[in-house]
Amino acid sequence: MTPDSLDGNAYPVAGAILPGPLLAIESSCDETACAILAPDGRVLAERLVSQEAHAAFGGVVPEIAARAHLALLPDLAGKTLESSGLARGDLAAVAASTGPGLIGGLIVGASFGKGLAIALGKPFIAINHIEAHALSARLPGVSDGQIGFPFLLLLVSGGHCQCLAVEGVGQYRRLGGTIDDAAGEAFDKVAKMLGLGWPGGPALERLAREGDPAAFALPRPLKGRAGCDFSFSGLKTAIARQLEPFGFAALPRQVAADLAASFQQAVADVIEDRATHALAMMERPTALVAAGGVAANTVLRERLTALAAAHGLPFVAPPLRLCTDNAVMVGWAALEICREATRLGLPVPDDRATRPRPRWPLGEMAERFAVG
């Protein structure tokens, strides 16, 4: 991790936002993370621990995650502050993901953040985790210039799979999403069937390089259908069917590689099709943005780059460490919210009364800026 890698790429953010830096906390799933951002978005320090205890279970265990956040967070926050060279009293605000996500972890992060904010007498800003992913493309240094509104966000991770029209800060329209598994979940489950470790996406992509993407005729669920919903469970079942003849016998490596490549191709075909539909559902989008762990997939990135180019749009995917769960995006979302509040003549929000929520629809985010 390079804490200051975004230094020098900041652009000045118009308007008075915060009188000093803020501390941001992310604890909604299995990453425990802290970051300190200057009011202009410069990253002064960041620290992240990807909890490893879940690998043995082949997926995130909520109770283990919550306990790990509790054990890790105080020290991580202290070390982040230390590496920023700041003192606690220099902080102007504290922000934390308060939903959606695994409730145990959210409670840990939000309680820690609120406690610190109260002790410092500074505002606490509650951040919607999906909103943080959505705005991360606007982080200084992520694209050549700042991405304007509206843009299409394709959020594809282990827990999320949706198309969002990002029309402004607090203005999000869900265009479609998965009706069963998330894209990353499908990668993980298929990887498990092929005998690969967890998380399976990166391992499956590596194996797929040795395979023929046309070797197996797999379905393309919902491809060509109106709207931009996703479905991956049929694809998973199709892979299971291809594996039946092998029973308990070891799967020949070439067959596994061909299956991996064919699966990856099918997922890329589906996501490209769904993104095409989503673009058609928007008026004058300014960019195609992808975020979430699956956006790290090279085949998918190539497809989306070509799709965006065909629409005369830039394709933006934050670097992997900002695509997956992190605290920098949480801090950035807090700054965007403060800036929007300032623009509307509203005070910097203080969300001490906001409770963590396992579900928190993005449609509710506009309420923060409702005047009167």
Binding site for ligand KG4 (CB under 6 A): 29, 157-159, 184, 187-188, 199-202, 205, 292-294, 296-297, 324-325
Nearer to ligand KG4, 123 or 159 (CB): 159
Q: Return the closest-CA partner of residue 186 out of 216, 214, 220.
A: 220
Phi-psi region of 265 (alpha: psi -120 to 50; beta: other; left: phi over 0): alpha
113 is in an annotated binding site: no
| Residue 314, contacted partner among Zn ion, ligand KG4, none, CB below 5-8 A by kind | none
Closest CB 115 distance from ligand KG4, rounded Å: 25
Burial class (CB in 10 A: 0-12, 13-18, 19+), 261: buried
Among 46, 325, 336, 340, binds Zn ion (CB under 5 A): 325
277 is in an annotated binding site: no
Closest CB 324 distance from ligand KG4, rounded Å: 3
| Residue 184, contacted partner among ligand KG4, Zn ion, none, CB below 5-8 A by kind | ligand KG4
Residue 123 to residue 93: CA distance in whole angstroms: 5
| Residue 101, contacted partner among ligand KG4, Zn ion, none, CB below 5-8 A by kind | none
Which residue type, as a one-letter code, is found at position 321? R
Residue 102 to residue 359: CA distance in whole angstroms: 9
269 is in an annotated binding site: no
Closest CB 248 distance from ligand KG4, rounded Å: 25
30 is in an annotated binding site: no
Closest CB 96 distance from ligand KG4, rounded Å: 16
Q: Return the closest-CA partner of residue 178 out of 170, 167, 168, 187.
A: 187
262 is in an annotated binding site: no
What the block records as the tokens of 227 is 């709207």
204 is in an annotated binding site: no
The helix-helix angle for 183-193 and 200-208 (nearest 10°) equals 70
Nearer to ligand KG4, 168 or 195 (CB): 195
Closest CB 18 distance from ligand KG4, rounded Å: 27
Burial class (CB in 10 A: 0-12, 13-18, 19+), 149: middle
Residue 330 to residue 315: CA distance in whole angstroms: 22
| Residue 296, contacted partner among ligand KG4, Zn ion, none, CB below 5-8 A by kind | ligand KG4
133 is in an annotated binding site: yes
Closest CB 87 distance from ligand KG4, rounded Å: 32
Stretch that binds Zn ion, among 37-45, 82-90, 281-289, 318-326 (CB under 5 A): 318-326
CB 357 within 8 A of CB 99: yes
90 is in an annotated binding site: no
Nearer to ligand KG4, 205 or 258 (CB): 205
Nearer to Zn ion, 172 or 216 (CB): 172
258 is in an annotated binding site: no
Closest CB 30 distance from ligand KG4, rounded Å: 8
15 is in an annotated binding site: no
Q: Return the closest-CA partner of residue 55 out of 202, 199, 205.
A: 199
Please name the residue ranges forming H helices in 183-297.
Answer: 183-193, 200-208, 233-243, 253-280
Please provide the DSSP assignment of 36-102 as one string: EE-TTS-EEEEEEEE--TTGGGTS--HHHHHHHHHHHHHHHHHHHHHHHT--GGG--EEEEEEESS-
Nearer to ligand KG4, 141 or 199 (CB): 199
Number of residues that bind Zn ion (CB under 5 A): 1
Residue 99 to residue 127: CA distance in whole angstroms: 7
Q: Return the closest-CA partner of residue 259 out of 245, 272, 271.
A: 245
Nearer to ligand KG4, 55 or 313 (CB): 55
Closest CB 372 distance from Zn ion, rounded Å: 33
Residue 334 to residue 126: CA distance in whole angstroms: 8
Nearer to ligand KG4, 38 or 156 (CB): 156
Residues of the binding site for Fe cation: 129, 133, 325
Annotated binding residues, written as ranges, equal 129, 133, 155-159, 188, 201, 205, 297, 325
Residues at the interface with Zn ion (CB under 5 A): 325
- Residues annotated as binding site for substrate? 155-159, 188, 201, 205, 297
